[in-house]
A = this chain, B = another copy of it.
């Protein structure tokens, strides 16, 4: 068992947050992760309010444990989805793709814990002052904060969790790793593509249109990259990309679909139940800490 300010803040057993990936982080996965003692997250993506409400209820009816909802702030339904969170009593909201400051008070006054994803120390500090309960730091930045920092990006096992805690984080968020669980409804072809990937298999597309996305290099990713390189219009690029994640994650089209995944794909080697993954991650982290302690006692050599 690892106790940190994050387990305390959220009332969870393990300092692990599941990423709220659109399309693949459905109620089935979120429920399984929360029941395993970590924080399961339903990824609302751009989904319409009715669908979101249905998903939230599936989780709420089946567990007494904390769970969360992730909303990317570019969703056309941000206001409606946040209203649903208040109405349905969603315990935790994580936000991506923007600055959630305008929504903080409304959510906080409803008793919801709000955890924004931040890409810089400066934004993290602004959001702390504005009342965020914790922050999810993508990349190397962590520590020096007054609220718990959740490290994200490149983490897929207990060594990564131990490393994040050593850096001063209070927990981790794992996205790609949770796609390869039995409860995740992603298409088997998508999961297999992650299993096959090495740490060099991914690339970033979409930088030119302001939506950088890391995905496994395939025909679609190469074509998208070509389009960006030859200076295609933003409209052409966005229209080319629309629906591609669904195509891969739901239909299993690993050629023309977008196989969104982090570099951590190279660390994913099996498909297991979410509970087994969470418990194994904690066990590995404890082993890593034991190994560290043995360095201090001079047993490392």
Residues of A within 8 A of B (CB): 1-5, 7-8, 120-122, 139-141, 143, 154, 159-160, 162-168, 170, 198-200, 263-264, 266, 286, 288-289, 291-293, 295-296, 298-301
Pick the contact of A167 from B4, B5, B159, B293 — CB < 8 Å?
B159
CA distance A159 to B263 in the complex (A): 22
A3, B295: Cβ atoms closer than 8 Å: yes
A298 touches B154 (CB 8 A): no
Residue of B nearest to A4 (CB): B300
A269 to B: closest C-beta gap in Å: 11
Contacting residues, chain B, for A165 (C-beta < 8 A): 166, 291-292, 295
Q: Which residues of B contact A296 (CB under 8 A)?
A: 1-2, 286, 289
Bound Cα distance from A162 to B165, whole angstroms: 9
> How far is it, in angstroms, between the C-alpha of A266 and the C-alpha of B143 when the chains are bound?
12
Docked Cα-Cα span, A274 to B101, in Å, equals 43
Q: What are the residues of chain B within 8 A of A164 when measuring CB–CB? A: 163
Which residues of B have CB within 8 Å of A168?
Answer: 159, 288
Contacts of A154 in B (CB 8 A): 140
Cβ-defined contact, B120 with A200, below 8 A: yes
Is the pair B301, A166 in contact by a Cβ cutoff of 8 Å?
A: no
A163 to B142, CA, bound (A): 12
Known: A163-B163, A266-B121, A295-B165. A301 touches B8 (CB 8 A): yes
Q: Which residues of B contact A120 (CB under 8 A)?
A: 198-200
A168 shortest CB reach to chain B, Å: 6
| Contact sample, A vs B, 29 pairs, CB 8 Å cutoff | A3-B298, A3-B301, A4-B295, A4-B300, A5-B301, A120-B198, A120-B200, A121-B198, A121-B199, A121-B266, A140-B154, A140-B199, A140-B264, A143-B159, A159-B166, A160-B167, A162-B166, A162-B167, A165-B166, A166-B166, A166-B288, A166-B289, A170-B300, A286-B296, A289-B289, A289-B292, A289-B295, A292-B292, A293-B293
